């Protein structure tokens, strides 16, 4: 058996239609001027744009038909997120999609039927997983006290201020569990907004202490741990899709500048010192796209197998490393202009640094890939 | 004629079994990984015997006419046989310039006399062929070839120099691109194509010692060398057209090639297998965190290339920069290959300092030599730097 393993890559007609629609939508709704207009707004997105995304049915792409979704799986969400990344379009789309996946994959039918319709209709939701800066620490300290109230807070909760529902990982009776918290249950001051390196994103520390969790809002059982693992992998994949899109747009920005800016009497794109790294960005973007659609080919609504796990991790590594490189070079290649806030290169490098830290950075995933690839199978 | 899947499967099983049973034992010296790397008489003798054996069993030239030593069957069988050779990892078929380029050309446009004279010797390995296209002053600019062929009665008189002549020291014949008319208005129209003998006074192949220390090709000097006029293929002035046709045969059996492996593909599994018993800090090297991180990067790079091949056929996923995957594939694979091979040496510990010829060198110094030879791919056929310029200008639209 080869360590290269599964190299399946398919793209369905439905995915193609979603890609076309999403590309056009994101281009229209999220030109750079619109992105910049949201940099300092409280929620970092335009509610009108969000409502249109909801009416296009995007929140339900991966959700069951019984709840009003289109049951295309997260594979159908990947093209949307790639296009959003390309346009640097924020919104709580990724957070809400992942929170919904957590409920679908770990919740019972009554929870699914009760909560998903609101999500599909555009009520933002989010995951609350981390209690420190370590994505490798999977043991939550958050727990319920004897009165059934949550004790503890979560950090780096994406889109916390927009969320109407939080899916919180907790420790319960010696096992992983999930608590479902409605925003209105949070006391005043529970959300302490972060200042993020990426101004198109929002996240906060959320103190859940004192929130009463009724039994119907508690998810327990053997299924929680594997579902959590899978949703973290899907999170890595969606961040990768976003980063791959952003990297492609960053490449376009570089190419445009290299074709128009003159120095020493020549277009700077004619210098090999700039040309060759730009080709490296192109081949790297190409690899990132290949990995995200490879992963999209392998994931299903079932628990992720090892091939799918590898694919999600590789997608995350490749796409975020690519965006880091592209954003970094975009600044350098714009010269003095690149050092200014006005230059769009800053938007990409900030998105890059933020993306790298979502759902584990490149080293985190390569460490786990090493175990998957080198310690199993024939090796 | 359509051949059933069952028939194909049966044939594959049969040829695979034959390859397994007849694959030669390890000769105790390092074999070439490609037809461009044959550098000694012992390697040559070994590979010649192997080619003869494959041909005798009917697995080379399967689609070539029977009367010239071929098998007279559909080309698909040769494609299947080649695939079996690859999966059974048998040695290369060294006479590739004959089998893959000169042979199909002669088959397609040669005269009856040329077919009768040349084809069988190509298949059996008795007649080794080389190619005289590149010249020292015209590396990539084939159309500018300057080696002069002047008609003199029943002969042509050759003067000039060819370079990078693979198998030049051993070859009996050369496919030769030469200038018969220096006055031609278009430089291409002054070129002619010859099936030239090598064993002629005035043709002097001088071996070039490679980076690896081995000899694989020659610089070939022509000084008033006289060859019979009937060595001219086609008419005078058709050289460029025939040379371009020659380059088309690389696509394999379906394009007319007689089959056989031109090279053994070196992949990352080969390296990982090789490192299994290497230790670092007293532990298996494959347990070392830093080595593992590097290996994962390399695995991802090789996998990305395979995935890119898949994605390149999905139009909806290639609209941004169409053909970027195809046009960058040589750059990506050769650069990856070079770095992967270098890493394989570095991971060996102190044994990485040994070379071919040292009894303690791992796998006879396979990776050391493979790394050096990888430069033939990052330099030959357009250097990586030229490839990057091509991608920048043709795909990204950057200025020259």
Q: For position A334, which CATH number holds?
A: 1.20.140.10
Residue A67 falls inside a structural domain: no
Residue A49 falls inside a structural domain: no
Residue A287 falls inside a structural domain: yes
What residues of chain B have any CB closer than 8 angstroms to a CB in chain A?
A: 267-269, 272-273, 276, 286, 289, 292-293, 295-297, 299-304, 306-308, 310-311, 314, 316-317, 320-321, 324-325, 328, 331-332, 385, 388-389, 391-392, 395-400
Q: A330: domain range?
A: 225-374
Mean pLDDT to the nearest integer, B388-400: 96
User: B213 or A349, which is more confident?
Assistant: A349
Judged against a pLDDT cut of 90, whether residue B399 lies above it is answered with yes
Nearest CA to CA, how far is A240 from chain B (Å)? Answer: 15
Nearest CA to CA, how far is B331 from chain A (Å)? Answer: 10
pLDDT in tens, B327-351: 999 999 999 999 999 999 999 999 9
Q: Are the CB atoms for A93 and A73 separated by under 8 Å?
A: no
CB-closest option in B273, B292, B399 to A370:
B292
Q: What is the structure's pLDDT at A103?
A: 98
- CATH 2.40.110.10 domain extents, chain B: 130-254
Please report the DSSP string for A270-321 in residue order. Answer: GSHHHHHHHHHHHHHHHHHHHHHHHHHHH--SSPP-HHHHHHHHHHHHHHHH
pLDDT in tens, B372-390: 999 989 988 789 999 999 9
* CA dihedral for B176, B177, B178, B180, sign (positive or negative): positive
For residue A363, list chain B residues with Cβ-Cβ distance below 8 A: 293
CA angle A166, A169, A172 (to 5 degrees): 125
Task: Name B288's Cβ contacts closer than 8 Å, sequence gap at least 6.
Answer: B280, B281
For residue B339, list chain A residues with Cβ-Cβ distance below 8 A: none
pLDDT in tens, B98-115: 999 999 999 999 999 999
- Contact at CB, A373 and B302, closer than 8 angstroms: no
ipTM of the complex: 0.96
Per-residue pLDDT for chain A (379 aa), expressed as one digit of tens each?
799 999 999 999 999 999 999 999 999 999 999 999 999 999 999 999 999 999 999 999 999 999 999 999 999 999 999 999 999 999 999 999 999 999 999 999 999 999 999 999 999 999 999 999 999 998 999 999 999 999 999 999 999 999 999 999 999 999 999 999 999 999 999 999 999 999 999 999 999 999 999 999 999 999 999 999 999 999 999 999 999 999 999 999 999 999 999 999 999 999 999 999 999 999 999 999 999 999 999 999 999 999 999 999 999 999 999 999 999 999 999 999 999 999 999 999 999 999 999 999 999 999 999 999 999 743 3
| Distance (Å, whole) CA B317 – CA A290 | 9
**Could you give the number of structural domains in chain A?**
1
Residue A290 falls inside a structural domain: yes
Please list the residues that pair with A191 across neighbouring strands.
A206
Residue A18 falls inside a structural domain: no
pLDDT in tens, B220-235: 999 999 999 999 999 9
Cβ neighbours around B5 below 10 Å, total: 7
What residues of chain A have any CB closer than 8 angstroms to a CB in chain B?
A: 2-5, 7-11, 15-16, 19, 248, 255, 258-259, 266-267, 269-270, 272, 275-276, 278-279, 282-283, 286-287, 289-291, 293-294, 314, 317-318, 363, 366-367, 369-370, 373-374, 379
- Contact at CB, B306 and A4, closer than 8 angstroms: yes
| Distance (Å, whole) CA B75 – CA B275 | 39
Please report the DSSP string for B135-177 in residue order. Answer: BTTBSS-GGG---EEEEETTEEEEEEEEEEEETTTT-SEEEEE
Q: What is the structure's pLDDT at A378?
A: 37
Number of inter-chain CB pairs under 8 A, A vs B? 136
| Distance (Å, whole) CA B29 – CA B46 | 10
Q: What is the structure's pLDDT at A377?
A: 47
The two tokens of residue A39 are 């940099």
The two tokens of residue A92 are 């709580």
- Contact at CB, A282 and B307, closer than 8 angstroms: no
What CATH number labels B268-394? 1.20.140.10
Q: Are the CB atoms for B302 and B267 separated by under 8 Å?
A: yes
- Global confidence as pTM: 0.91
Q: Put residue A173 in one of left, alpha, beta given phi > 0 → left and psi -120 to 50 → alpha.
A: left
B5-126 is classed in which CATH architecture? Answer: Orthogonal Bundle (1.10)
| Distance (Å, whole) CA A79 – CA B205 | 58
| Distance (Å, whole) CA B22 – CA B55 | 12
Judged against a pLDDT cut of 70, whether residue B84 lies above it is answered with yes
- Contact at CB, A9 and B310, closer than 8 angstroms: yes
CB-closest option in A269, A282, A317 to B391:
A282
Residue A326 falls inside a structural domain: yes
- CATH 1.10.540.10 domain extents, chain B: 5-126
Residue A241 falls inside a structural domain: yes
Judged against a pLDDT cut of 80, whether residue B1 lies above it is answered with no
| Distance (Å, whole) CA A155 – CA B284 | 39
Judged against a pLDDT cut of 70, whether residue B140 lies above it is answered with no
Query: Domain B130-254 - what CATH class?
Result: mainly beta
Mean pLDDT to the nearest integer, B45-66: 96
Residue A288 falls inside a structural domain: yes
């Amino acid at each position: 058996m080869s360590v290269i393993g599964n190299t399946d890559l398919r793209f369905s007609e439905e995915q193609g239609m979603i890609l076309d629609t999403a590309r056009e939508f994101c281009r229209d709704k999220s030109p750079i001027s619109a992105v910049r207009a949201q940099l300092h707004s409280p929620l970092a997105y335009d509610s009108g744009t969000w409502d249109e995304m909801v009416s296009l049915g995007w929140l339900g792409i991966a959700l069951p038909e019984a709840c009003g979704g289109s049951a295309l799986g997260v594979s159908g969400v990947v093209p949307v997120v790639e296009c959003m990344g390309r346009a640097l379009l924020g919104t709580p789309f990724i957070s809400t999609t992942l929170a919904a996946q957590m409920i679908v994959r770990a919740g019972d039918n009554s929870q699914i039927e009760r909560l998903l319709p609101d999500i599909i209709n555009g009520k933002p939701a989010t995951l609350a997983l981390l209690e420190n800066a370590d994505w490798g620490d999977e043991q939550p300290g958050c727990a319920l006290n004897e009165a059934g109230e949550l004790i503890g807070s979560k950090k780096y909760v994406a889109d916390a201020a927009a969320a109407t529902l939080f899916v919180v990982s907790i420790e319960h009776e010696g096992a992983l569990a999930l608590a479902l918290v409605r925003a209105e249950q949070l006391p005043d001051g529970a959300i302490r907004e972060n200042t993020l390196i990426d101004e198109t994103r929002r996240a906060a520390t959320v103190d859940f202490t004192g929130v009463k969790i009724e039994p119907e809002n508690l998810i327990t059982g053997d299924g929680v741990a594997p579902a959590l693992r899978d949703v973290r992998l899907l999170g890595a994949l969606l961040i990768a899709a976003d980063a791959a899109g952003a990297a492609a747009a960053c490449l376009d920005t570089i190419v445009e500048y290299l074709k128009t800016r003159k120095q020493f009497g020549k277009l700077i794109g004619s210098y090999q010192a700039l040309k060759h790294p730009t080709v490296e960005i192109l081949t790297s973007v190409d690899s990132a796209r290949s990995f995200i659609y490879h992963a999209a080919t392998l994931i299903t609504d079932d628990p992720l197998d090892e091939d799918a796990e590898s694919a999600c991790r590789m997608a995350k590594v490749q796409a975020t490393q690519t965006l880091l490189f592209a954003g970094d070079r975009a600044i350098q290649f714009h010269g003095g202009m690149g050092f200014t806030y006005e230059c769009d290169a800053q938007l990409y490098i900030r998105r890059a640094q933020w993306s790298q830290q979502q759902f584990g950075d490149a080293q985190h995933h390569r460490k786990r890939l090493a175990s998957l690839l080198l310690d199993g199978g024939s090796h | 004629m359509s051949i059933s899947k069952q028939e194909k499967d049966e044939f594959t099983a049969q040829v695979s079994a034959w390859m397994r049973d007849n694959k030669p034992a390890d000769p105790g010296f390092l074999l070439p990984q490609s037809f461009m790397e044959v550098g000694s008489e012992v390697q040559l003798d070994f590979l010649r015997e192997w080619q003869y054996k494959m041909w005798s069993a009917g697995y080379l030239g399967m689609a070539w006419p029977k009367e010239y030593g071929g098998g007279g069957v559909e080309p698909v069988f040769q494609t299947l046989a080649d695939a079996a050779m690859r999966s059974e990892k048998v040695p290369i078929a060294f006479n590739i310039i004959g089998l893959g380029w000169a042979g199909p050309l002669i088959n397609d446009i040669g005269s009856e006399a040329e077919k009768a004279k040349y084809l069988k010797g190509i298949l059996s390995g008795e007649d080794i062929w080389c190619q005289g296209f590149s010249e020292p002053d015209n590396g990539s600019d084939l159309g500018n070839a300057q080696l002069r062929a002047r008609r003199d009665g029943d002969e042509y008189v050759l003067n000039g120099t060819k370079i990078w002549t693979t198998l030049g020291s051993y070859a009996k014949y050369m496919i030769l691109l030469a200038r018969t008319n220096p006055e031609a208005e278009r430089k291409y129209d002054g070129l002619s194509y010859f099936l030239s003998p090598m064993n002629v006074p005035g043709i002097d192949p001088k071996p070039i010692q490679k980076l690896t220390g081995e000899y694989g090709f020659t610089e070939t000097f022509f000084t008033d060398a006289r060859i019979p006029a009937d060595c001219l293929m086609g008419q005078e002035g058709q050289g460029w057209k025939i040379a371009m046709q020659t380059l088309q045969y690389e696509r394999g059996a379906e394009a007319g090639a007689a089959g056989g492996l031109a090279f053994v593909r070196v992949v990352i599994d080969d390296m990982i297998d090789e490192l299994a018993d290497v230790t670092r800090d007293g532990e298996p090297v494959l347990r070392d965190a830093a080595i593992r991180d590097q290996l994962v990067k390399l695995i991802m790079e090789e996998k990305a290339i395979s995935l890119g091949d898949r994605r390149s056929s999905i139009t909806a996923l290639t609209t941004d920069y169409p053909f970027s995957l195809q046009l960058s594939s040589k750059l990506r694979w050769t650069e990856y290959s070079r770095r992967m091979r270098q890493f394989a040496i570095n991971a060996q510990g102190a044994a990485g300092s040994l070379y071919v010829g040292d009894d303690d060198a791992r796998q006879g110094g396979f990776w050391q030599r493979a790394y050096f030879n990888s430069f033939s791919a990052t330099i030959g056929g357009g250097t990586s730097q030229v490839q990057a310029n091509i991608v920048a200008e043709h795909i990204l639209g950057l200025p020259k």
